A and B are shown apart, each in its own frame.
Chain A
Amino acid sequence: MTAPTLAVFKLASCDGCQLTLLDCEDELLALAEKVEIAHFPEASSALRPGPYDLALVEGSVTTPADAERVQEIRAQSRFLVTIGACATAGGIQALRNFSDVEEFTRTVYARPDYIDTLATSTPVSAHVDVDFELRGCPIDRGQLLEVITAFLAGRKPDVPNHSVCFECKRRGTVCVTVAHGTPCLGPVTHAGCGAICPAYGRGCYGCFGPSGSVNLPALIPLLHRDGMDDRDTERFLRTFNAAAFAKERQP
């Protein structure tokens, strides 16, 4: 029996999520014996043509060329998993969705006419069917290994949909909001990071996006109570998963 093939693709992103695969220092060589790494340009110059059994897609769709490429990627991938906040929610570059992209282009480039970009940054699921979405900016190494292991075993990945608060309780971290009045997005944020921010004495900034069942309107008065005005609150929710939190705010 031949090993299933793995492909890693990148759209607009910082490379951090695919780097997470290379950061599996203890597991990388063992993993390479279980799957055939067929297409992973960051790690290998041997690029084999598709179709692929498992494709990991990092990054969001921000250019006309990438909108076409994502269709090709879907066509040649049996199982397509999007990895990270860019691929699952448009990422930090989705801040353009709330603004004028032409003004953005003029701000950064002297010759905006050289730049070919879409007015929006959208998740992969806005363009093609996605089999599984792994959240995080960046994704968590443990969750990535779980997704790949589940794929190899032919089962559903065990990635919980609950909020960061559960992880804080499990870690034994004292609630930063209750104890210190620190604004925290933990109650509305998807678990996965292990509740690192509160453990380091700061409020969660929502880098895993909204959790499964979110009551965002109930959190806003709490943020106000802890000293954030409307502008601060908006900025707090509009960062690495701006588009996903914006959707949750709609009544």
Chain B
Amino acid sequence: MTHRGSRVLRVGSLARVEGEGALHLRVHNGRVEEARLQIYEPPRFFEAFLRGRSYTEPPDITARVCGICPVAYQMSACQAIEDACGVTVDRPIRDLRRLLYCGEWIESHALHIYLLHAPDFLGCDSAVDLARTDRTAVQRGLRLKQAGNALLTQLGGRAIHPVNVRLGGFHRTPTSAELRPLAEQLRRAAEDARKTVRWVAGFDFPDAVVDADFLALASPSTYAIEGGTPTRLRADGTLTTFPLPSFLDHVREAQVPHSTALHSRLDGRRHLTGPLARYAISGNLLSPAALEAAREAGLGPECRNPYRSVLVRAVEVVYAVDEALRIIDAYEPPPRPYVDVPPVEATGHGATEAPRGLLYHRYRLDAEGTVTDAQLVPPTAQNQGAIEDDLVRSVQTAITDHDASDHELTHLCERLIRNHDPCISCATHFLDLTVERT
């Protein structure tokens, strides 16, 4: 440990996120010059070994990018390959896909809210620690998460890396009788979800603002989950869209020396995907119960405070439960579980809203249906720049206001990073904070 004016130190490890990362801060004369979120998750080379695989395989293979949001990978992959092959699936199958995705949103959001994020607001190390003082809350979170997992298990075969998804639809579609018990569990979950919003709304939220552009998919008549048009909302309120096939012209990835995850920019500007973006762009399309919950919790039409992202997630859980119930109530088994997807030599694009943000896939296929090229752009890689900006701004304020100690800074940075629910496996679990002061 050296003098505070010029020192390098390493502290702690970034816990309660998915994957492994470290943070390096450079402070010169009391000014934060750089925050580098280093992702040192070992590279796993999905885009390389997808080459040469059959076009039927990416839904199962890319699920393995992330154990927390496998459905997002399966859905973006299916959509991209069906797009290449010129196939559109019919309404009942689209509804079932959305239902499966609702299961993932409920499970993943409940995991993040209760097990990863809430302990930050309540001064605990973990949900197990929190259960010593508020067992009812933790049990409610686990019950909610279980409802999401039950949906995934029924529709997908299992909650992690579901087996029932295939190009064109599902291997087997459920009977109405198989979905009915889920409806009962979801009705209990609806109550738990509303209580979650009220519980989270009572947390103490520090003031903060993200000024990055928001990017989310949008659909004309429904809160976008399993598809939509890429839509950007600038901080000044300007709303623009671009067609999905031009995604990589707008969201450009670049490699930085300090990270195994690629960084991306939206038309040269830092951008944020995920719940804050979705809510700002499509919040008016939430269900009446979700809108009511948002209003009661004091959320306006847009929220730019990253700490309050936990509140937006809770509102999205209310929505996902409502939406799942709506789909189950209207469900009639489709005549066939899938439509045929014959291979075509073409390039296809797919994007869906993973719980932590927009996930884009692009595949090139040859005439036999062999994948010749694959591109995956996960939400965390897109968000990394905005997270670093957020860190610079907040650390600067903490240093200027009260010359925060390195211990305080570590705690602050960990919280800021967890606000964004980064899936570092997708993009990397330790935060080794290094502060370089010169």
Measuring CB to CB, which residues of chain A are less than 8 angstroms from any residue of chain B?
10-17, 19-20, 22-23, 25-26, 28-29, 32, 37, 40-47, 62-63, 66, 91-93, 95-96, 99, 101, 103-105, 107-111, 114-115, 117, 137-138, 193, 196-197, 199-202, 205, 207, 232, 235, 239-240
CB–CB A10/B429 < 8 A: yes
CB–CB A41/B13 < 8 A: yes
13 contacts between A and B (CB under 8 A): A14-B66, A16-B64, A23-B145, A29-B142, A92-B44, A93-B44, A96-B45, A108-B47, A109-B255, A111-B257, A137-B161, A202-B163, A239-B60
Q: Quote the shortest CB–CB distance from B170 to chain A (angstroms).
A: 8
Is B390 part of the binding interface, using a Cβ–Cβ cutoff of 8 Å? no
CB–CB B255/A43 < 8 A: no
**CB within 8 Å: A-B pair count:** 185
Q: Enumerate B70-125 residues with CB–CB distance to A below 8 Å.
A: 70, 111, 115-116, 119, 125
A93 to B64, CA, bound (A): 10
Number of chain B residues close to chain A: CB under 8 A? 68
Q: Quote the shortest CB–CB distance from A34 to chain B (angstroms).
A: 12
Asked, given contacts A23-B160, A62-B42, A137-B64, whether A16 binds B15 with beta carbons under 8 Å apart, the answer is no
Set of chain A residues within 8 Å of B19, measured between Cβ atoms: 15
| Residue from the list A14, A25, A43, A105 in contact with B128, Cβ < 8 A | A43
A202 to B57, CA, bound (A): 13
Pick from B48-56, B209-217, B272-280, B293-301 the stretch touching chain A: B48-56
Set of chain B residues within 8 Å of A199, measured between Cβ atoms: 157
**Top-10 shortest CB links A-B:** A16-B67, A44-B126, A45-B15, A46-B125, A41-B429, A104-B48, A107-B48, A12-B42, A25-B142, A95-B49
Set of chain A residues within 8 Å of B116, measured between Cβ atoms: 42-43
Set of chain A residues within 8 Å of B43, measured between Cβ atoms: 62, 105, 108-109, 115, 117
Set of chain A residues within 8 Å of B13, measured between Cβ atoms: 41, 47
Q: Enumerate B1-23 residues with CB–CB distance to A below 8 Å.
A: 12-20
CB–CB A196/B163 < 8 A: yes
CB–CB A19/B67 < 8 A: yes
CB–CB A44/B414 < 8 A: no
CB–CB B128/A44 < 8 A: yes
Extra A-B contacts (6), CB below 8 Å, given A14-B425, A28-B128, A240-B64 = A23-B145, A25-B142, A41-B16, A99-B48, A104-B49, A239-B57
Asked, given contacts A200-B171, A202-B171, whether A43 binds B126 with beta carbons under 8 Å apart, the answer is yes
| Residue from the list B46, B70, B138 in contact with A29, Cβ < 8 A | B138
Set of chain A residues within 8 Å of B54, measured between Cβ atoms: 232, 235
A15 to B111, CA, bound (A): 13
CB–CB B129/A23 < 8 A: no
Beta-carbon nearest neighbor of B144 in chain A:
A25
Among B41, B44, B160, B255, the most chain A Cβ lie within 10 Å of the Cβ of: B44
CB–CB B68/A25 < 8 A: no
Set of chain B residues within 8 Å of A16, measured between Cβ atoms: 64, 66-68, 70, 160-161
How would you classify the secondary structure of chain B's contact residues: helix, strand, loop or mixed? loop
CB–CB A63/B139 < 8 A: no
Is B193 part of the binding interface, using a Cβ–Cβ cutoff of 8 Å? no
CB–CB A43/B158 < 8 A: no
Is B305 part of the binding interface, using a Cβ–Cβ cutoff of 8 Å? no
CB–CB A207/B16 < 8 A: no
A37 to B130, CA, bound (A): 14
CB–CB B49/A99 < 8 A: yes
CB–CB B49/A96 < 8 A: yes
A103 to B111, CA, bound (A): 37
Set of chain B residues within 8 Å of A200, measured between Cβ atoms: 157, 163-164, 171-172
Set of chain B residues within 8 Å of A108, measured between Cβ atoms: 43, 45-48
CB–CB B64/A42 < 8 A: no
Binary interface encoding of chain B residues 134-156 relative to chain A, with 1 for a CB under 8 A from any of its CBs, else 0:
01001100110110010000000
Is B260 part of the binding interface, using a Cβ–Cβ cutoff of 8 Å? yes
Q: Quote the shortest CB–CB distance from A234 to chain B (angstroms).
A: 10
Set of chain B residues within 8 Å of A40, measured between Cβ atoms: 126
CB–CB A44/B16 < 8 A: yes
Is B318 part of the binding interface, using a Cβ–Cβ cutoff of 8 Å? no
Set of chain A residues within 8 Å of B139, measured between Cβ atoms: 29
Set of chain A residues within 8 Å of B346, measured between Cβ atoms: none
A122 to B384, CA, bound (A): 30
A42 to B14, CA, bound (A): 9
CB–CB B126/A45 < 8 A: yes
Set of chain A residues within 8 Å of B255, measured between Cβ atoms: 109-111, 114
Q: Quote the shortest CB–CB distance from A139 to chain B (angstroms).
A: 9
A76 to B429, CA, bound (A): 19
| Residue from the list B51, B66, B127 in contact with A107, Cβ < 8 A | B51
CB–CB A42/B16 < 8 A: yes
CB–CB A107/B142 < 8 A: no
Beta-carbon nearest neighbor of A47 in chain B:
B13
Set of chain A residues within 8 Å of B53, measured between Cβ atoms: 235
Beta-carbon nearest neighbor of A32 in chain B:
B128
Beta-carbon nearest neighbor of A106 in chain B:
B48
A232 to B60, CA, bound (A): 15
